[in-house]
Each structure stands twice: as C-alpha cells, then as structure tokens.
Amino acid sequence: MEILYPVKPSVVTNPFGTKAPWYDKVRGHLGVDFRTRNESLEIRSVMDGKVVKVVNDVKDWFYWENGWKQTVDYGSGDPYGNNVIIDHGGYFSVYGHCSKLFVHTGQEVKMGTTIAHGGNTGHSMGNHLHFELRMGENNRKSCVNSLPYMSEHPFNPNEASEWAKEAQEFVIENKISDGTRPHENVSREELWVMLHRISKSTK
C-alpha cells in the first residue's frame, strides 16, 4: 500500500509515538503532525475512499496549567476539533484540527482531493494537521505510523537546514536547546527563555 502525504509542503512537527502527558499513556502520540502555516493550506485525501465521519466543532479547548480546560463557551467539543475520517477499504485516515471542511458524510473522494484546510481547533496549541492511519478497524487502538507508507517522505524535522547548521551547533554548545526538531514552531515564551539564556551566557 502506498499513500500520499496529506499536505504540501510536508513538514513533520511531531512524529508517531511521541511521549507526553496528554497522549496515550502506552503508545504515545497516535498520529503524525504536519505543519500547516496558515488556515488556507489544503489538506488532501491520501487515497481513494468514502467519507464516514465529519465533525464541525467550533468550541475550542485551551491548555492551561498542564491540562486541557473548558468553560461555558469553550471546550465542549471533539478533542480533534473539525475533523474528517475516510474509509479506504480496510484502512481509515483521520484528519484533525482543521479550520474548514469541504466534504460530507457518504461522499466518495479520490486520492489528492482537497478535503479541508489546516487549522488549530480542538486539543491544539498551534496550526497543524493531526493525521492518523488506522489499519483494519476505525478506532484508536488500530493506529499505525503512517510515514513508511507515504509515497514521498516528508522533510525530516530533526535535521537543521544546511544554512542553519552553524546556528544549531551554537544553541547546542550553549545549552539553549538540545538541537532536536529545529523546524518546530517556537512560542514567545520559549523565545524569551532563549534570549535570556543568551544574554546571561555573554556576560
């Protein structure tokens, strides 16, 4: 079996199996996260198939003090936010945290069909696509690492661009970062910490 990667350009920001408190305690992150820099980036069906689930969910959750929170107006919806599930005949693909959806339940789609735009809905702290590949059954226990099945391999998030090698060596040497996942988005808080560390290291 060979599938398309769901976004172009395809940059992985969080691989399958990553461990974190908010992921599956045993298996870790059950999908692969792809960068979607803006809410107009097209998300494509990875194979021919039939849409079996569409969730339009606008009540976003928010993350605060080590947990996902909700209020009267926020957080009562699906953790995957706006999401689509497609049946490919024994395989199921899941597209989570979208901003807009362009398909409906029961619709037949072709490989490469635009089904959504990237977004930041549900349990999400930044614009990205959470993509899952489920083998055999449509449940979270059936998730597998999708990257080995993709026809073109995404950009390696753990390797700095050629022009950034010197910067990577600098941040590792000065203990600003361990140098992994150099293409992941940096929050303002992380940037402030890095600048503070640089300032202290140059005094």
Token pair recorded at residue 3: 């599938």
> Mean pLDDT: which of 54-58, 87-91, 190-194 is highest?
87-91
Beta bridge partners of 87: 50, 92
CA distance 33 to 30: 10
Task: Provide φ and ψ at 190, rounded to 5°.
Answer: -65, -40
For residue 180 the two structure tokens come to 């992994």
Q: Is residue 31 within 8 Å of 147, Cβ to Cβ?
A: no
- The per-residue pLDDT for range 28-72, each reduced to its tens digit, is 899 999 998 778 899 999 999 999 999 986 666 655 566 656 555
Residues 192 and 58: their CA atoms lie apart, in Å, by: 31
Per the structure block, which two tokens stand in for 125?
């702290």
Q: Cα 42 from chain centroid?
A: 14
pLDDT of residue 194: 77
pLDDT number for residue 134: 96
